Structure 1
Amino acid sequence: MNLLFSISSVIAIVSTLMVITRKHPVHALLYLIVSFLAIAVVIYQLGAPFIAILELIIYAGAIMVLFIFTMMLLNLGKETIDQERKWLQPQTWTGPVLLSLILLVELIYLLSKSSSQEHAITGMDTKIVAQTLFGPYLILVELAALLLTAGIVGAAHIGQHKRRVSHRFLEEYNE
């Protein structure tokens, strides 16, 4: 168990460092997804499978789709076609795919090794989680949703402003 925990931890650290050092935002997002997957495996190994599933659903799923949608919204234009072709090159996907495959093999091994009673997801009642989130923490959940929405609107506004400024500059330059 310590070896698998160490492998997952190293993958989480390496992929997080790759997020920080990538120049292209899509590359950084790919490594961020791998980092979330590695953290979910670490959480699963610590004996909290329900939290690991929530990590996958909320962060690796919903939040990453939100980030990708925002990036697509900001990168509208003719130059993005060439940029998207560069992102589809195999060297873009090699690193995240290799790290994800290591995590997949590790997770399959953990699931086949563990007994059904050891890591039963039914140990945590989803009704209790829902009542906690939407009971005393309802305002915090709504504020988080509002903050994400404001971030997207702000990013879209900044992207539109940059596009308008560049079009004005080109029009003045051509005159």
Structure 2
Amino acid sequence: MHALALLAAGVTVMGAIMVITRRVAVHAVLYLVVTLLALSVVLVLLGASFAAMLEVIIYAGAIMVLFVFVIMMLNLGQPDSQREKEWLHPRAWLGPGILATIVCTELLYCASPLSGPVRLPLPITVHDVGLSLFSRYVLMVELVSFLLLAGLVTAFHIGRHREGGH
């Protein structure tokens, strides 16, 4: 079980490094999706299956769609046809594909009867998460909302500045 956790953590760290070092924004988004999925595997192995589901649904799903939408809206860089041809090269998909294959293989191994009985920690329930968010960590939740508001205002100003042609 420790080897699976270390493998998932390694994929998470490798994906995060690739997100930071990519020059093309769409490639960074692909690596970010793989990183978020690998992080959800780590959360499942720690017994936080509810947090892992939230990670996949909210971050790897909804937030990544938002990122792709913003990238399309800002239309940074090269002309569209040249950029789309570059995305179709297999080398653009090779790294995220390999990391995603490792994560999927790990999940299939954990779900198969070959892995034997798996002793996971006690699961974290929705009730536990709600109590933590609105009692112990309520200040952190409010600070994150201010951070998201600052990001929204920044994106608005970048889009407005670009539209005006200044």
Q: How far apart are 1:138 and its partner, in Å?
A: 7.9
Bigger radius of gyration = 1
Compared CA separation, residues 35 and 76, structure 1 to 2 (3 A): closer
C-alpha spacing 1:153/1:114, structure 2 compared with 1 (3 Å)? farther
TM-score (norm 1): 0.73
Partner residue, 2:24: 24
Percent of aligned pairs sharing the same letter:
44
Aligned-residue offset at 1:63: 1.6
Summarize the Cα distance change of 1:120–1:155 in structure 2 as closer, same or farther, 3 Å threshold: same
| Corresponding residue number in structure 2 for 1:173 | none
Asked if the contact 2:47–2:121 (Cα under 8 Å) also holds between the matched residues in 1, the reply is: no
* Partner residue, 1:169: none
Structure 2: give runs of 5+ residues left out of the alignment: none
Question: Partner of 1:47: helix, strand, or coil?
Answer: coil
Structure 1 residues 86 and 124: alpha-carbon distance in aligned structure 2, compared to 1, 3 A threshold: same
**In 2, distance between residues paired with 1:132 and 1:3?**
30
Counterpart for residue 158 of structure 1: 158
Aligned pairs for 1:73-152 (under 5 A) are 73-75=73-75, 79-112=79-112, 113=115, 124-126=124-126, 129=129, 144=144, 147-148=147-148, 151-152=151-152
- 1:147 offset after TM fit, Å? 4.9
For residues 134-158 of structure 1, the C-alpha deviation after alignment (integer angstroms, 9 at most, x for no partner) is: x657897677567546534532431
Tell me which residue corresponds to 1:64. Answer: 64
**Contact kept? 2:49, 2:124, Cα under 8 Å:** no
Using a 3 Å threshold, how does the CA distance of structure 1 residues 114 and 35 change in structure 2: closer, same or farther?
farther
Per the TM alignment, residue 81 of structure 1 is displaced from its structure 2 partner at its CA by 3.4
- Aligned residue pairs: how many? 163
User: CA, structure 1 residues 163+91, in 2 after alignment: closer, same or farther (shift >3 Å)?
Assistant: farther
**CA gap 1:65/1:138 in 2 versus in 1, 3 angstroms:** farther
Structure 2 CA distance for aligned equivalents of residues 27 and 106 of structure 1? 23
CA RMSD of aligned residues (A): 3.1
TM-score, normalised with respect to structure 2: 0.76
Q: Deviations over 1:111-138 (max 9, x none)?
A: 224669x6699x55546645765x6578
Distance 1:70 1:143, change over 3 A: farther
Residue 51 of structure 2 corresponds to residue 45 of structure 1: no
